[in-house]
């Protein structure tokens, strides 16, 4: 059920800047940050700042904020990394390892099988300094974008 922030929830702490992460965009409803174990460079997570676990718990205002962020993050990923496509993904129920709603925005390339996203350990293991550099570039691109 949609509720307030929870200090026990890692997703709430990440979304509200109470954990170290590489934030690339935020507004009053969502925080967008780089996945710490990206499938490809530019792999972004979108988290609501309010504690929401499942997609069916959203009200209209929050779901629109997530989808607007997904649009913005997709545009930024396409601009900066020029992938062959972008996959948006959200895992619910027992597959939501964060126990907080989060949407993945993943740049993908034609040589990659879609199933690899779910079955393989990420091939692109960025170190913290590489994540920081990617975050800086993505913030720059997002600032320059007009939607």
Domain residue ranges of the chain, discontinuous segments joined by +: 10-131
Q: What is the pTM of this model?
A: 0.86
The Cα–Cα gap between 106 and 86 comes to 5
Percent with pLDDT over 70 in the chain: 84
pLDDT in tens, 61-117: 999 999 999 999 999 999 999 999 999 999 999 988 889 999 999 999 998 876 766
- 28: buried, middle or exposed (CB in 10 Å: 19+, 13-18, 0-12)? exposed
**Superfamily holding 10-131:** HIT-like (3.30.428.10)
């Amino acid at each position: 059920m949609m509720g307030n922030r929870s200090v026990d929830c890692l997703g709430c702490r990440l979304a509200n800047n109470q954990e170290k992460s590489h934030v690339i965009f935020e507004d009053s409803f969502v925080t967008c940050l780089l996945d710490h174990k990206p499938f490809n460079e530019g792999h972004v997570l979108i988290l609501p700042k309010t504690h929401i676990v499942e997609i069916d718990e959203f009200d209209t205002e929050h779901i629109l904020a997530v989808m607007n962020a997904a649009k913005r993050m997709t545009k930024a990923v396409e601009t900066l990394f020029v992938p062959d496509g972008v996959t948006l993904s959200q895992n619910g129920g027992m597959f939501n390892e964060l126990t907080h709603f989060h949407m993945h925005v993943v740049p993908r390339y034609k040589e990659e099988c879609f199933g690899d996203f779910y079955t393989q350990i990420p091939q692109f293991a960025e170190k913290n300094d590489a994540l920081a550099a990617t975050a800086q570039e993505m913030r720059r691109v997002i600032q320059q974008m007009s939607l």
